[in-house]
Amino acid sequence: MMARVVRRSISAAFMVSERSWAPPALSSSFSSSSPNGCSWCFGSKTDLHLRFYSAVAAAEEVAGGLRGMTLNGRLRSEWDLLGAKEYLEYRRSLYGEITHKALLVDAVGTLLVPSQPMAQIYRQFGEKYGVQFSEDEILKRYRWAYEQPWGRSRLRYVDDGRPFWQFIVASSTGCSDSQYFEELYQYYTTDKAWHLCDPDAEKVFEAVREAGVKVAVVSNFDTRLRPLLRALKCDHWFDAVAVSAEVAAEKPNPTIFIRACELLGVKPEDAVHVGDDRRNDIWGARDAGCDAWLWGSDVHSFKEVAERIGVRL
C-alpha cells in the first residue's frame, strides 16, 4: 500500500514539474533553493532530465511524512529502490546500456580513509609536545574548529592549505608548536596515513575505463592530494584530478564538478559523481547538472557503481 502511495507521489510530482518547470540560468554559485532544501543550477540538459530531478524533489516532499511513520525506514528503503530502478531505466532509454560517459569520485570517505582515527594520531604525535587532551576532547575541538568561517573567500584549502591546518591542529590540541604541526602535516602525505576503501577499486576502474568511461577524482583537499595518490599507487587509475585548492572552489560549489567534466571532455549531464557526503557530494554534483550516488547508501562498492553504469566485470 505504501509503495502505491509513493508511486502516486512520483506521478503527481512529475505532472507538477511538467507544468511549472522553467530552466534556471547557468551559474557557478548557488541559485534559489528548491522545496527540499537543495539549490539547483543545472546548465544545459534535456527538458526530460531536468523534469526528472524536479519530480524527485517534489515526490520526496510528499513521501517525507510517510517515511517518518514507518519502522526502521522500511518505506525509505522501498522508495530508494524504486527511484533507483526507475532512474536507471530512464538513463538507459536515453543513453543505451552504458548510462554515463564519466565517473567522478570523491577522495576522503569514498576512495580512501585515514588508517587510524584522527584524534588518536593528534594525541600520539602530540605527547612529546605536551598535548594533554583526551581523544574525545580533541575530536570535539576539531569538529568545532572545522566548522568555523574561514577567510573572505571561504576556501579552506588554498595551495598547500598550511594556514588552515595550523588553525585546526592548534584549536584541536591546544598546541601551536610548529614542529608538531609539520610532523602531522607530513604524516598525512604518506601512504601510512591512509588506506583505500575498496580492495577491488583498481580492477573496477580499469574495467570502467576500458569500457570508454572516463574517471576523475573530485575532492576538497589541498595540493598534497596528487602526491598522496602517487604514494598510494593509484594516481594512474584516473584521467583527471579536480582538487579544490587548484580549482579555487570547494564542494558543494558546482564549479569544481563542472571543472572536472571539462578536464574529462564531457558534459555534466553525462557524468555521475559518487561521494559520501549528502550536502557536498550529492547536492553539489546535482547543482552542476551531474547525476549523483551516495556512497554507503545508493552504492556500497565500486563494483556496484560499475554495474549501475552498465559496465560488466
Say what the pLDDT of residue 83 is: 65
Confidence of residue 256 (pLDDT cuts 50, 70, 90): very high
Confidence of residue 74 (pLDDT cuts 50, 70, 90): low
With 0-12 / 13-18 / 19 or more C-beta atoms within 10 angstroms meaning exposed / middle / buried, residue 26 is: middle
Confidence of residue 153 (pLDDT cuts 50, 70, 90): low
Say what the pLDDT of residue 22 is: 31
Say what the pLDDT of residue 264 is: 98
The CA radius of gyration of the chain, in Å to the nearest whole number, is 21
Nearest to 135 by CA among 122, 149, 148: 122
Confidence of residue 135 (pLDDT cuts 50, 70, 90): very high
Whole-number average pLDDT of the chain: 79
Each residue of 6-65: pLDDT tens digit?
A: 333 433 333 333 333 233 332 333 333 332 333 323 333 333 344 334 444 443 443 344
Say what the pLDDT of residue 239 is: 98
Say what the pLDDT of residue 145 is: 95
Joined grid coordinates for residue 136: 574525545
Say what the pLDDT of residue 95 is: 56
Say what the pLDDT of residue 19 is: 30
Cβ atoms within 10 Å, residue 222: 23
Q: How far apart are CA 19 and CA 51, in angstroms?
A: 10
CATH topology of domain 102-112+194-309: Rossmann fold (3.40.50)
Say what the pLDDT of residue 312 is: 87
Task: With a cut of 80, say whether residue 67 has pLDDT above it.
Answer: no
